[in-house]
């Protein structure tokens, strides 16, 4: 099974890239994590946000694989605890179907991306910077996998 993190944004700070790559590399082949970066829409004025979201939305929906199960990260969705993610990961690995996790840009996900999602989850009620979300998702997937195999990384 492959998990693709489809995220708006390119040219992340070095610390984001380094941390994401570190956690992604720790995951085993049976649940490998791949990053797909989506070019952000142009925002010159506040009125450009709707156009930017639409452009990001179009690129994001094109990047989603035809048979992928899609999870949209959305602050207003059901909270995703570490244990719930571990339970989901166990089910995903048993199912074997590829997954796509969608991370929107500064203004969130577009309507088509939300509609394409098979489920929606929230990492936090806090508003998180979208570059940081990449690191959190990679770390939490590694933590969830560690829980499933009884590795001592997760000590809660």
Which residue range forms the structural domain that includes residue 143? 2-155
C-alpha dihedral sign at 149, 28, 2, 102: positive
Q: What would the pLDDT profile of 26-85 be if each residue is shown by its tens digit?
A: 999 999 999 999 998 887 776 678 888 899 999 999 999 999 999 999 988 999 999 999
pLDDT attached to residue 68: 96
pLDDT of residue 46: 64
Annotated binding site for S-adenosyl-L-methionine: 73, 104, 123-128
In tens, the pLDDT along 108-149 reads 899 999 999 999 999 998 888 889 999 999 999 999 999 999
Characterize 95-110 residue by residue with b for buried, 16 or more Cβ atoms within 10 angstroms of its Cβ, and e for exposed.
Answer: eeebbbbbbbbbbbbb
CA end-to-end distance (rounded Å), the chain: 27
Reported confidence tier of residue 156, pLDDT bands at 50, 70, 90: low
pTM here? 0.93
Model confidence pLDDT, tens digit, residues 8-25: 998 899 999 999 999 999
Binding positions: 73, 104, 123-128
Q: Based on the structure, what is the number of domains in the chain?
A: 1
What pLDDT does 87 receive?
Answer: 96
> CB of 49 within 8 A of CB of 107?
yes
Q: Residue 46: give its domain's CATH number.
A: 3.40.1280.10
CA distance to 25, 69, 112, 145, per residue, from 64 (Å) = 22, 9, 11, 24
Residues in the chain: 156
pLDDT at 151: 82
* pLDDT for the residue numbered 47: 65
């Amino acid at each position: 099974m492959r998990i693709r993190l489809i995220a708006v944004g390119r040219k992340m700070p070095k610390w984001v890239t380094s941390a994401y790559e570190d956690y992604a590399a720790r995951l085993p082949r049976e649940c490998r994590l791949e990053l797909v970066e989506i070019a952000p829409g142009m925002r010159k004025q506040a009125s450009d946000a709707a156009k930017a979201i639409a452009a990001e939305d179009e690129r994001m929906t094109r990047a989603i694989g035809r048979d992928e199960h899609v999870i949209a990260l959305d602050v207003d969705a059901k909270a995703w605890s570490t244990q719930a993610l571990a339970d989901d990961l166990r089910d995903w690995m048993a199912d074997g179907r590829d997954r796509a996790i969608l991370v929107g840009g500064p203004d969130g996900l577009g309507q088509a991306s939300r509609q394409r999602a098979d489920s929606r989850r929230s990492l936090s009620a806090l508003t998180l910077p979208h570059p940081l979300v990449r690191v959190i998702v990679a770390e939490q997937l590694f933590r969830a996998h560690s829980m499933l195999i009884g590795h001592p990384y997760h000590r809660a």
